[in-house]
Structure 1
Amino acid sequence: MYNNSFFKKILLVASVVFLYSCDKDYNEIGGDLIGENNFDFKKETYSVSGYNQKTGPIQSNNLEVNPLGIYSSTNFGETTANFNTQLTLPALITSVSTKPFVESVVLTIPYYTDATQTKTNADGSHVYVLDSIYGPDKAKMKLSIYESGYFMRDADPIGGFQQSQKYFTDQNTEFDNLKIPTRLNDNPDKAQNDEFFFNPAEHVVVTTDTVTKAKSTAYIAPGMKLNLNKDYFKAKIIDAVNSGKLASNEVFKNYFRGLYFKMEKSGGGQGNLAMLNFKAGKITITYNEDLVSTTGGATTRVKKTIVLNMTGNTVSLLNNDFSANGSAYNALPTTGNTTEGDEKLFLKGGEGSVAVLELFDKTDVKGYDANGVLTGPNKISDQLDDLRNPADGKKILINEANLVFHIDAAAMANSYEPQRIYLYDFKNSRPLTDYYLDPTTNSTDPKKSRTILDGIIKKDATSKKGVTYKIRVTNQIRNLINNKDSTNVKLGLVVTEDIGIVTSYKLKTPNTFISQAPKTSVMNPLGTILYSGKSTVNEAKRLKLEIYYTKPN
């Protein structure tokens, strides 16, 4: 008993020491870099070069969230985001009885709302503010929904059935040409088609009890709610049940190939764009049919429903137009100045662009052998060589290392700004060590986890516009200095929709410099402009690697 108690005490002490060490290791030095004393740590800055790399058309199937609408940016042109999805059956339907009559066909897709701004009224109703909407409030657009004629395969027959089929951002023409040309959202209410807008109002549903006749009211959070053509779905779905078309999802997905959402401008409006979780959407077909009793032969009229979920293969279809805005971005070459770097870094989501960074000055006139003896050029930056081989033989202890990106505030003054950017190993298309070693989580919004890694926009208190992004690279730099065989790989920088998603998607046309980019960047419709390490326009805001360190006496 004594030994067991003693062991628990030792374990407790060891745990406290370990947790304190972890906390000390991960504790940020200050917060923002400007105006800090950093606990008397020494600070050095090092060069960073960066250039722009456009992706061109990029894989965009089966994203966690998808844009829908029209978004005009002063820096990156106008993007029209269409969408195509397969439909699936949660329950297989093998038969429908006699005299079926379709009461309603309703398509619903929830909107994202800002929970911090939701207000509850005395009668139980709510006032909502939509989240992830970009552009003028309640902007009207023309929304057309069609049955898709494009069969979206699961596997790639050319690449082999072990490889999933890829679909790309530039395939809108293919899906549009194969749509079944009957508009399904043809309700007389123009807010459901020709004058559609993302409505923040909640849906009010009043029901009457069939026995007591008492009425009850339910309030449903905002979302797309469209009445689709009943005759079309009766012929296409209800009348096809007895032929076995809904007996399996494999048969059904080939028979009814899904929905194609097409967005166009309405009148002179510029439109807006929303991020949607289409996989939470569905079509509910409510119908009546006659059921004949198997015992007495009596006929009973019953109400039934068939639900079609939007959980099959999907693709985000993007059209970029630079005729009005975005001429500077459009004029950028596919690959920027890989030798000297570009003046500014243009990060754009969707079918967009990545910034490629190289840490430390490229000057290489000296090197060191295994014993630390000075030699000639060794294809390693002299700045990094000197950090690995200090002249006095005393290695520095890296307390913190950051990349601080200054936003071109003038260029971004009238644009929506990405709330976060993501830095990754460009060569190997994977996160940095600092990503994996960040234990912070956010239970209410996982996309805001890994706050030590950072990358979250810092805004001016008065203008509420972005000033900087800071990304922690402490462990990346420690590894480079302490492990001389570590390669100073190129780093990629992109806008991110979700910091928890680190997989990469393929470019449709890879080149010598790039073949893939982070999936999370494809999901984000926004862009930003940052000063690079070469910037001559504003030298004070040049991109630098900032290292805080201590050195033994």
Structure 2
Amino acid sequence: MKKTFKALKFSSIFLLVMALFIACDKDFNSIESDVLGKDNANFNTDSLNLQILAYNKKLNSLQINGLSSNLFGVFNDPAFGQTTASIITQITPNTFSPNFGDNPEIDSVVLSIPYYSKQVGTEEGTTNIKYSIEDSLYGNSPVKLTIYRNNYFLRDFNPSSEFNETQNYFSNASASTNSALDGTNVINFEDHKGEMIYDYYDDNEQKHYLPSGKAIILKSTEGEEEVVDRQVPALRVHLDKDYWKTVIIDKEGDPALSNTNNFRDYFRGLYFKAEPINGAGNMTFFNLSSANITIYYSKDSTVDGQRTQSNYSLNFTGNTLNTFINDYSIALTNGNKTTGDERLYLKGAEGSMAVVDLFGGEMVECEDESGVITMRTPLDCFKKTYRELDENGEYLPKVNGDFPLKRLINEAHLLIYEDENADNGGDPDFHKFDRLYAYDIKNNIPTIDYSLDPTGSQNTNSNPLNSKIFSLGQRITDNNGISKYKIRITEHLNNILLKDSTNTKLGLLLSTNVNLTNNFKILDSGDEVTETPAAAILTPRGTTLYGNHQNVPENRKMKLEIFFTEPNF
């Protein structure tokens, strides 16, 4: 079987990486050529499409604390409907038992929360850096942003556990208010909101919240010279001075400011509430790990008649969680584990994923080398087809821990088609940057093909579109507008054949950052999917794929394709 390779333009370094990856591959890779000639070759190559089963898994009650970043805002997916994400977070002083000096007076209180941005050049005619937040911004309509004091205490440990386990919080996205589950109770944060600290919405002044990719420019004066400080794009607002004087400055000497536990019991955190405006909005990521509230104040100096400038900061360490409210236009349900589903709905932020059972379904006719046909499970037929057998048709014993093989897998991948009839809101590029992420649901880890893929990045926010492109192929659209994905599972299948591993099911979900591999628990899952990667939680987007149900047209069905080498000596 001939394989045709199209020339691609890569840098020399990338070509070297690819060469090393291929050279280190344990598979036997063969390309037909005229060097030996057909009659002189001592191996045969072919491809084989095997039966698989793919069905929907509705995601409920996902762990929403401990995330690496947090979604905030309102996103309208044209195919699925609206998702609203709010944030509840603790704050912690950078220093304890402060001495604010004599006669402290607050000059300003500033809240700063950076966005995830990247440098995109410099401003024309200057050396000033230009930034973009397009990769982490969904939608371009304003939202209503209100910040409240949160009066619900977010625990560090689960009181119901016997071993001081961490307290986890889970989404409750089917509710109409911002709420969460702690394993036994429903927490409605609307019932625990305190005084309003900031309101970023004014109908009269048309002051709405819409993130900007512009640098933050701060100007100050040192002597007679003006100093300009340029900072990365961020949500940066001034808070009420009198309020923070009461809750912080006036508490000097109080035990509330003496340590972390006391402070978090006294000031239990902030509630960032998002609401749509006229049914529309935007959604972005808050980088709370770099966020702070800074109180700038002056106090009496040791020099009579003079004042000294100082500041006191609070960071956003501690428990932080996202809440989601879903108002979907389609019903997401668990699929049919026996026949599979025609359409697979992948939706983030407590939405839906797909389970791909590589050898699921009914018994199949399995033909051995002698032409004898027996009814076997798809998995057993797969093993019988690829492993060496003895004269009784049983597997040969392991050699150095591996079963001997009579067929060597060169390449194996899932071929998955996008539903071209799904609503994209009139934007043909709506799904342009979508990626699919696959993981081993038995062990809740990435596939071995993912782990061996050299195109990844240790920086989880570094160019996710071009990460793991060998194992998680990028979306490809042909001249007819048909889009498809390829998920490489060569080593995953080799593990099943050689090691007799039982991880035959893969989780499939939509991701805007395939570098996010940490898994988070599902509360009372009820089936084999017990955890889901952060990649599924930290995206509001969705897509619709074709499954492998009998009603799906043959040229759109999900397929498992295996290319193998079979020695003929």
TM-score exceeds 0.5: yes
> Structure 1 residues 186, 103: closer, same or farther in 2, change over 3 A?
farther
Q: Which amino acid aligns with 1:251?
A: N
> Structure 1 residues 510, 100: closer, same or farther in 2, change over 3 A?
same
SS state at 1:150 partner: coil
SS state at 1:157 partner: coil
SS state at 2:82 partner: strand
Q: Which amino acid aligns with 1:345?
A: L
SS state at 1:92 partner: coil
Show the counterpart of 1:77. 81
SS state at 2:562 partner: strand
Show the counterpart of 1:34. none
Q: Determine whether 1:290 maps to 2:305.
A: no
> Structure 1 residues 354, 321: closer, same or farther in 2, change over 3 A?
same
Show the counterpart of 1:316. 322
Following superposition, the deviation at residue 169 of structure 1 comes to 2.0
| Counterpart among 67, 72, 75 of residue 71 in structure 2 | 67
Show the counterpart of 2:290. 280
Q: Determine whether 1:209 maps to 2:222.
A: yes
Following superposition, the deviation at residue 352 of structure 1 comes to 1.4
**Which runs of 5 or more structure 2 residues have no equivalent in the other structure?**
1-18, 32-42, 180-187, 392-404
Show the counterpart of 2:487. 471
Q: Determine whether 1:92 maps to 2:90.
A: no
Show the counterpart of 1:388. 386
Q: Determine whether 1:50 maps to 2:54.
A: yes
CA distance in structure 1 between the partners assigned to 2:198 and 2:163 by the alignment? 34
| Counterpart among 139, 142, 163 of residue 140 in structure 1 | 142
* Paired residues of 1:71 and 1:134 also in contact (CA < 8 A): no
CA distance in structure 2 between the partners assigned to 1:307 and 1:460 by the alignment? 54
1:417-445: CA deviations, max 9, x gaps? Answer: 36322211222322222223333334771
SS state at 1:155 partner: coil
> Structure 1 residues 24, 477: closer, same or farther in 2, change over 3 A?
closer
> Structure 1 residues 497, 455: closer, same or farther in 2, change over 3 A?
same
Show the counterpart of 2:399. none
Show the counterpart of 2:40. none
How many matched pairs? 507
Following superposition, the deviation at residue 105 of structure 1 comes to 0.7
CA distance in structure 1 between the partners assigned to 2:235 and 2:414 by the alignment? 41
| Counterpart among 426, 438, 451 of residue 469 in structure 2 | 451
> Structure 1 residues 46, 187: closer, same or farther in 2, change over 3 A?
closer
Please show how residues 122-137 of structure 1 align to structure 2 within 5 Å.
122-137=125-140
Following superposition, the deviation at residue 29 of structure 1 comes to 9.1
SS state at 1:356 partner: strand
Show the counterpart of 1:3. none
Q: Which amino acid aligns with 1:474?
A: T
CA distance in structure 2 between the partners assigned to 1:27 and 1:493 by the alignment? 27
CA distance in structure 2 between the partners assigned to 1:503 and 1:25 by the alignment? 27
CA distance in structure 2 between the partners assigned to 1:402 and 1:349 by the alignment? 24
| Segment of structure 1 superposing worse, 310-319 or 473-482 | 473-482
Show the counterpart of 1:265. 276
CA distance in structure 2 between the partners assigned to 1:176 and 1:237 by the alignment? 24
Q: Determine whether 1:503 maps to 2:514.
A: no
| Counterpart among 429, 434, 457 of residue 419 in structure 1 | 434
Following superposition, the deviation at residue 391 of structure 1 comes to 9.2
Following superposition, the deviation at residue 223 of structure 1 comes to 1.1
Following superposition, the deviation at residue 477 of structure 1 comes to 1.5
Q: Which amino acid aligns with 1:110?
A: P
> Structure 1 residues 87, 29: closer, same or farther in 2, change over 3 A?
farther
SS state at 2:535 partner: helix
Show the counterpart of 1:179. 193
Please show how residues 228-267 of structure 1 align to structure 2 within 5 Å.
228-266=239-277
> Structure 1 residues 535, 442: closer, same or farther in 2, change over 3 A?
farther
SS state at 2:474 partner: strand
| Counterpart among 493, 496, 501 of residue 480 in structure 1 | 496
SS state at 1:200 partner: coil
CA distance in structure 1 between the partners assigned to 2:517 and 2:116 by the alignment? 23
> Structure 1 residues 280, 374: closer, same or farther in 2, change over 3 A?
farther
Following superposition, the deviation at residue 317 of structure 1 comes to 0.4
Q: Determine whether 1:543 maps to 2:558.
A: yes
* Paired residues of 1:143 and 1:194 also in contact (CA < 8 A): no
* Paired residues of 1:360 and 1:383 also in contact (CA < 8 A): no
Following superposition, the deviation at residue 255 of structure 1 comes to 1.2
* Paired residues of 1:429 and 1:504 also in contact (CA < 8 A): yes
Q: Which amino acid aligns with 2:510?
A: V
CA distance in structure 2 between the partners assigned to 1:546 and 1:109 by the alignment? 46
| Segment of structure 1 superposing worse, 230-239 or 489-498 | 489-498
* Paired residues of 1:187 and 1:227 also in contact (CA < 8 A): no
CA distance in structure 2 between the partners assigned to 1:204 and 1:379 by the alignment? 66
CA distance in structure 1 between the partners assigned to 2:148 and 2:449 by the alignment? 46
* Identical pairs, percent: 32
1:153-178: CA deviations, max 9, x gaps? Answer: 11111124531011122282422221
1:481-503: CA deviations, max 9, x gaps? Answer: 334x3325222112235434433
Show the counterpart of 2:153. 151
> Structure 1 residues 199, 26: closer, same or farther in 2, change over 3 A?
farther
Q: TM-score, normalized by length of structure 1? A: 0.82
Following superposition, the deviation at residue 94 of structure 1 comes to 2.6
* Paired residues of 2:450 and 2:472 also in contact (CA < 8 A): no
CA distance in structure 1 between the partners assigned to 2:113 and 2:30 by the alignment? 44
**Which runs of 5 or more structure 1 residues have no equivalent in the other structure?**
1-17, 31-38
Q: Which amino acid aligns with 1:229?
A: D
Show the counterpart of 1:305. 311
* Paired residues of 1:459 and 1:467 also in contact (CA < 8 A): yes
Please show how residues 398-417 of structure 1 align to structure 2 within 5 Å.
398-414=409-425, 416-417=430-431
CA distance in structure 2 between the partners assigned to 1:468 and 1:436 by the alignment? 23
1:470-527: CA deviations, max 9, x gaps? Answer: 11100111222334x3325222112235434433222234224543322331122211
CA distance in structure 1 between the partners assigned to 2:222 and 2:98 by the alignment? 31
